[in-house]
Each structure stands twice: as C-alpha cells, then as structure tokens.
Amino acid sequence: MRSVPHRRGAALVAAAIFLGACGGGASQSPSSAPPSTSPTTVATATPEPTCDPFPTQDVEFVVPYSAGGGFDTWARLVAPYLEEQLGGDHSVVVVNKSGAGGLVGVTEVYGSEPDGHTIAITEPGILATSQIGGTTEMDVNTIMGVGQIAVDPEMIVVKGDSPWNTIQDVQAAAADGPLLMGTGGLAAINIITFDALDIPFENIVHEGSSEAMLSVIRGDTVITIFPLVTVQEQVASGELKPLLLVGTPRVEGQPGYEESKDVPTLDEVVNQPGIGSALEQHRVIVAPPGTSECVQTALSDALIAALADPDFIAQATEAGRFPVPLTGAEATEVIQNTYTVLEGYADLLKEQLGE
C-alpha cells in the first residue's frame, strides 16, 4: 500500500529531472553541435536518442554478503575505479546487505528504482536456482546486467592422501554407494555436476566453506567442490587433491593456473561442451529490471574502463585475483543462459533441494 504514493512521487521526480535535462540539452545544443552535422531538418526528422546525464546522485553498490568475503573484496576493489570512470562527481558507495545466501540484498536492488543508482554484485547461479526452487519472487530473466567482473571455475577436491587420483576412481568407488560430500549448503553446481558424473552423494552441510574444507582434510567427508580461488592454497600445499575442474580453465600466468593445469574439465569428462561455464561462478553486477539502455551503457562502459585500469589490475593481481570483464549486454546473456541451463535440471534441483 505504501509503495503507491512513493512510486507516484518518484515518477514526478523523474519527470522533473527529464524536463530539466531537456532544458539543459536545448540550451547547450547550439554550442555542442559538431560542425560536420548537416542542417537542422534531418536532425528533427530522426531525433537521436539522447541520454540524460548519469549518475545524478551517489550510486549504492550493494554487496549481498557480509564484509570480508569474495564478493565484498571484489566490490571494494572496483568501487573507487568505477566511481572515477563515472565522472567522479558522485560516489560509488559499497553497502553490505547480507542474508539468505545473497538473496536479501539482490531482492532489495531488484525492487528499487531502476535508475542505475542502486546496483548489486551477485552470482547468476544463485538467482536462477532460487527462482526454479520457488524461493524468490524475482524473475531472473528481467534483471539487467551491468557487466561481469570475474569468473571463478570450481574444483572438485578430495583429501591430499586420498587413494583416488582421478575422477574415474571416484566414479568407481561411488558404484558401491553414495559418498559423503562436505558442503556449505547445497547449490546447483553440487547437484548438477555430481549428477552429470553419475556420482551419488550424501550431503553433510556445514556452516561455511571453511568448515566443509576442514571436514575433507580431516577425512570426515570424502569429497567436495568449491571455487578454485577458495581451495587454491590447500591444493598448493597438498592438503587437498584436485580431481576435476568445472568451468573455464585458467591460462598460464593467471592465479590458480599451476594448481589446475593438469586437471581435466567437466566438459571433457562428460562430453558436454559448455556445461562447466554455465555452472562456474560468474561475478556479475546487476541493475533492476526496467533500467534504461542509456544507464546500462553508461555503467557498463565505466565498468569495462575501470577493469582495464592498470592500477586496478595491479591491485587485483596482488590479491590473487584477475578480472574477466564482460559488458552489460553480455552479462545479461550470461544470466539468462545460466537460467536456461539450470531450468533443464529443474526436476533434479527441486528433488534435491527438497522443495
């Protein structure tokens, strides 16, 4: 009920801004018109879609997880550079809004004014899974991608001194019965990957990834899957043994390359090209449905430029991360593609997630 007057008020504000922008544009047009433009008649016949200036206020950059985690680190690394690329007149403010495995923050951005001043960093897999499972009202396919910051492939790991040396060893062992998998909560990637590999498992849920990894190192659970960046240290030290990479392999020089270069990919093993890239962790920035293309382009261009800034790259590299930038349009496609792929497993996901 309360949202009605609020919306109306916002519409008035938007109209006022629009009028103001037109006025500004009209007064500026004589001086700013490029000299090469042909006489006025052509311009009035096909009006160029002019964009309002953006941003007109601070941009709230919502991190739907608590401070200190992977998404938070990325957001805080990129925020100052994004601010600079957006003109520097308005701040990009990182706000942590954690809850419900990342859904609370994104849901809030989803329902906010689609003017580009509220954006979130998120992961398409979580959004798609929650829509398929019916735990969210959001329609993932209407979310506007602003860009992608990075992609993290995931790695199936077992204990360092496990007798299993290949994923085939695991498959053979699993023929005798389900394996104990240590997770920080069941996600689509666990369910679909192990289904594709035909490895039945029993899920032992933990408080978080740390506890789940320790359980594998102790030998209380026997297998798990986590982003490469999460298990990299433990793989390097030999505490964990990598068996299968789900997603895009690292190339030489990128962090995690050494730890993953000899590991086969899910695509190869189950012969389904593209399955890994739909399951790996894409870190994308999103804006609410209905965000104009003008705003999307402005944010997307700024993000791409920010991610290419040598200072940013140096800082990210020092933190063991590297960006894999995509534009807003491409990120939107990634989100929709993730949804399409996961929807193909809707029955399996619903069954496993106990909906």
Element (H, E) at 52: none
Nearest approach, Cβ of residue 314 and other proteins (Å):
10
Structure tokens at 230: 């999460």
Residue 178 has a CB neighbour count (10 Å cut-off) of 12
Strand order in the sheet with 240-246: 201-205, 179-183, 223-227, 154-159, 240-246
Strand order in the sheet with 92-96: 92-96, 59-63, 118-122, 281-287, 144-152
Q: Calculate helix-pair angle for 124-133, 103-110, nearest 10 degrees.
A: 90
Sign of CA dihedral 27, 32, 34, 35: positive
301 lies in the site for other proteins, by CB under 8 A: no
Nearest approach, Cβ of residue 328 and other proteins (Å):
25
Nearest approach, Cβ of residue 51 and other proteins (Å):
30
Residue 101 to residue 125: CA distance in whole angstroms: 12
State CA 204 to chain mean position distance. 26
Q: Which amino acid is at 97?
A: K
- Of 162 and 265, which has the nearer Cβ to other proteins? 162
Nearest approach, Cβ of residue 219 and other proteins (Å):
8
Interaction mask 90-129, other proteins, x per CB under 8 A: -----xxxxxxx-xx--x----------------------
Residue 10 to residue 6: CA distance in whole angstroms: 6
Nearby residues of 133 by Cβ (< 8 Å), 6 or more positions away: 349, 350, 353, 355
Among 21, 51, 173, 214, binds other proteins (CB under 8 A): 214
Nearest approach, Cβ of residue 70 and other proteins (Å):
8
Nearest approach, Cβ of residue 127 and other proteins (Å):
13
Phi, psi angle pair for 283, to nearest 5°: -100, 105
Among 210, 257, 333, 350, binds other proteins (CB under 8 A): 210
Among 215, 265, 300, 332, binds other proteins (CB under 8 A): 215
Interaction mask 128-157, other proteins, x per CB under 8 A: -------xx---------------------
Interaction mask 64-93, other proteins, x per CB under 8 A: --xxxx--xx--xx----------------
Among 9, 87, 200, 208, binds other proteins (CB under 8 A): 208
Site for other proteins in 170-199 (CB under 8 A): 180, 183, 185-186
Nearest approach, Cβ of residue 327 and other proteins (Å):
26
- The region that residue 134 occupies, defined by phi over 0 for left and psi between -120 and 50 for alpha, beta otherwise, is left
Nearest approach, Cβ of residue 306 and other proteins (Å):
15
Which stretches of the chain bind other proteins, using CB under 8 A? 66-69, 72-73, 76-77, 95-101, 103-104, 107, 135-136, 180, 183, 185-186, 202-208, 210-211, 213-215, 217-218, 220-221, 233-234, 236-239, 315, 318-320, 353-354
